[in-house]
Amino acid sequence: MDIELPNNIILTKLEPFFRWALSHSIYMFPFGTACCGMELIAVNAARYDLMRFGVIPRSTPRQADLMTVAGTITEKMAPLVKRLYEQMATPKYVIAIGSCAISGGPYHYDTYSVVKGVDKIIQVDVYIPGCPPRPEAIIHGFMELQEKVRKGK
């Protein structure tokens, strides 16, 4: 390739380009069940404004690239979580927000109805610990996911 290129042309492969584009325009399916859902709302609201990272909330899994599981998942909810995940189109990513979604959190012991971690049901890409995590921690989790998307799964 000895052709001289003008400065406004960049050569790249198609796949990294798509991944780069996706990482800056993640359509999020906010699935908040409990307390962590409140912090997820706070992240989307006035002060923290998650939309500046290109994360746009969509109410249906069929339009989403990312599912954020925020809150406790119970045995009654588990089949529905799986079904919602399966409705998403690939490439799809999952963020588990809060201790309950990671391991059952405070409801891990002496309980009969709580699923001990959403990764028992679906594959999780990024875990954000905390009970509930601070909005800054949630934003950091989203940035980690962007990095992961850029690198490829």
Q: Which of 37/117 has CB closer to another protein?
A: 37
Strands 93-97, 56-57: parallel, antiparallel or unpaired by DSSP? unpaired
CA distances from 139 to 3, 42, 52 (A): 43, 11, 11
Shortest CB 116 distance to another protein, Å: 12
CA pair distance 140, 55, nearest whole angstrom: 13
Given the rule CB under 8 A, which residues bind another protein?
A: 30-35, 37-39, 41-42, 45-47, 59, 71-72, 74, 76-77, 80, 84, 106-107, 109-114, 131-132, 134-135
Assigned token pair, 29: 């399916």
Shortest CB 121 distance to another protein, Å: 14
Shortest CB 128 distance to another protein, Å: 14
Place of tokens 């709580």: 114
Q: Which of 53/111 has CB closer to another protein?
A: 111
Place of tokens 């980690």: 144
Place of tokens 């890409």: 125
Q: Which of 54/57 has CB closer to another protein?
A: 57
Strands 56-57, 27-32: parallel, antiparallel or unpaired by DSSP? parallel
Q: Which of 21/38 has CB closer to another protein?
A: 38
Shortest CB 78 distance to another protein, Å: 10
